[in-house]
């Protein structure tokens, strides 16, 4: 799957977002080494702390299906003028499984840029920090 295809797949998830409070839909698509892709959207809750982001939805779906340390690229998209950057909680959760993950972030024009998770969360805390 190309980067463009992964970004466009993430955009298809915007319509599935449940965002009655922020009205800010986010879509994600997580590519594994074997070519499997897990998608996600944000799901809000009136108890705001119970809200889950699109990135974590895709990650949890992947982990629940047996994928662990085989994540290659994540696309995160939104309908905003700026790029749709992952929040701190998502960065930390992703770091647990893939500190070297490639992250593609897109804006409403479907333009995207690439960063690594290490760039987005320098000196991150992960399983190796538990030793």
Q: Quick check: 128 pLDDT over 90?
A: no
Active site residue 55: yes
DSSP state letter for 110: S
Which is the catalytic residue, given 5, 55, 111, 114?
55
Q: What is the mean pLDDT of residues 46-71?
A: 96
Residue 85 CA to residue 75 CA, distance in Å, equals 10
In this structure, how many other beta carbons lie within 10 angstroms of the beta carbon of residue 97?
19
Average pLDDT over residues 43-72: 96
Eight-class DSSP state of 104:
E
Question: Over 90: is that where the pLDDT of 127 sits?
Answer: no
Mean pLDDT over the full length of the chain: 96
């Amino acid at each position: 799957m190309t980067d463009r295809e992964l970004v466009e797949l993430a955009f298809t998830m915007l319509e599935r977002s449940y965002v009655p409070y922020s009205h800010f839909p986010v879509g994600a698509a997580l590519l594994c080494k074997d070519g499997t892709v897990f998608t996600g959207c944000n799901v809000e809750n009136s108890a705001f702390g119970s809200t889950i982001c699109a990135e974590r939805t895709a990650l949890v779906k992947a982990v629940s299906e047996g994928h662990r340390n085989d994540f290659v690229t994540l696309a995160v998209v939104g309908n905003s003028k700026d790029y749709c950057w992952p929040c701190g909680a998502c960065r930390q959760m992703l770091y647990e499984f893939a500190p070297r993950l490639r992250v593609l972030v897109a804006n409403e024009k479907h333009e995207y840029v690439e960063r690594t998770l290490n760039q987005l969360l320098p000196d991150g805390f992960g399983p190796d920090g538990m030793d």
